[in-house]
Amino acid sequence: MTVSDCVTRLLAERALCPVNPSAQAFAPANIALVKYWGKRDEALRLPVTASLSLSLANRGTTTKISLLDSGYDRVILNGEVIAAAHPIMKRATAFLDYFRFDGDYHYQLDSTNTVPVGAGVASSASAFAAVVQALDQLFDWQLSPQKCSILARLGSGSACRSLWHGFVEWHCGEQVDGMDSYAEPLTDTWPQLCVGLLFLDKTMKAVSSSEGMRLTQRSSPFYTLWPQQVEEALIEVKTAIANKDFLTLGACAERNALAMHACMLTAQPPLLYSKAATVEAMEKIWQLRRDGLPLFFTQDAGANLKLLFLSQHYADVFAAFPTLELVQPFVKGDSL
Ligand code: PMV
């Protein structure tokens, strides 16, 4: 099945002309506690495994979509018009191509991101999830969350998890058309759970996550072990969430991230997203843990770390990492 066929199927019986001149939506960024790394279908962005994430409350993307009669799309990101040749523009246009329909519509996307773009902080996840929700309003499709999740997945895999706050699981699915590969929120909440964003390098990464996945799947001898690691991690993390067992959750999330990076490191050529500052921060976290502080990290396709800890240890964590940006995924009125 092609991506266009998939979009046509999802939009069956929906009106394909916009009913509103513009629409706006927000989607939170998310960090995976059990990672998605590897596709079984490139075009449809179908994953090799399931994954589980935590959304970053008010950190994410707000996108206003409006119709343009210029014959081309325009993307404004944090107030700046993105040049036609920029990878962000190419990716946005390619996604919007699926939504031109008979009217050959063109769009302006005016987005504000509260996470750095392309630095392994899931900016593409919130960006595509926001666009899909804005499109849904623009056309008044009133799609189910499941269908929105599938549409967002077609833009960026991890975007299918960015439609909800809190813990979200992306079901791997088995069907070749990917209609059973969507995300769903878990009902569990955990008000004490904190994420600390440790920015060590805010520049755009040199190797995109899609390229990185391809390389790892193709050439790392460790990749064959990855699906099993994810399967075990998912069970362990879900049990830890249900039991509010932070030590198990933190240990398991950290191990899963390191296993993913071990696969990347053993690819040909090796893929290393960490910088010296990343390794230094990891060593500091491990030392603090040996000294009794329950503090863990996870790392995505970038040099930055996301620290995991409970609110009662906030002061100690901040004493060690004064530049940390705090996110409380379950505290309403604060971050939500
Ligand atoms: O959705 P993508 O193509 O940006 O891939 C995301 C990959 C990781 O962030 C490393 C892991 C994940 O599950 O979010």
Residue for token digits 């519509």?
Answer: 105
- Cα 15 to ligand 1 centre (Å): 32
- Cα 118 to ligand 1 centre (Å): 11
Is 126's pLDDT higher than 90?
yes
CB 230 within 8 A of CB 50: yes
Is 263's pLDDT higher than 80?
yes
User: Does 121 contact ligand 1 (Cβ within 6 A)?
Assistant: no
What are the residues whose beta carbons fall under 8 Å from the beta carbon of 263, sequence distance 6 or more? 37, 216, 220, 222, 223, 225, 226
Q: Which protein residue has the closest C-alpha to ligand 1 atom 8? A: 300
pTM of this structure: 0.96
306-334: pLDDT as tens digits: 999 999 999 999 999 999 999 999 997 65
CA 268 to chain centre: 25
User: Does 157 contact ligand 1 (Cβ within 6 A)?
Assistant: yes
SS3 204: coil
94-117: pLDDT as tens digits: 999 999 999 999 999 999 998 866
Report the pLDDT averaged over residues 65-83.
95
- Cα 320 to ligand 1 centre (Å): 28
Whole-number pLDDT of residue 112: 95
Report the pLDDT averaged over residues 215-231.
98
User: Does 300 contact ligand 1 (Cβ within 6 A)?
Assistant: yes
Tokens describing residue 276: 């010296």
- Cα 19 to ligand 1 centre (Å): 33
Whole-number pLDDT of residue 333: 62
Is 124's pLDDT higher than 70?
yes
177-219: pLDDT as tens digits: 999 999 999 999 999 999 999 999 877 778 999 999 999 999 9
Q: Which protein residue has the closest C-alpha to ligand 1 atom 10? A: 300
147-185: pLDDT as tens digits: 999 999 999 999 999 999 999 999 999 999 999 999 999
Mutational test site, ligand 1, from 195, 300, 304, max ligand atoms within 8 Å of CB: 300
Report the mean per-residue pLDDT for the chain. Answer: 95
d(CA 95, CA 107): 11
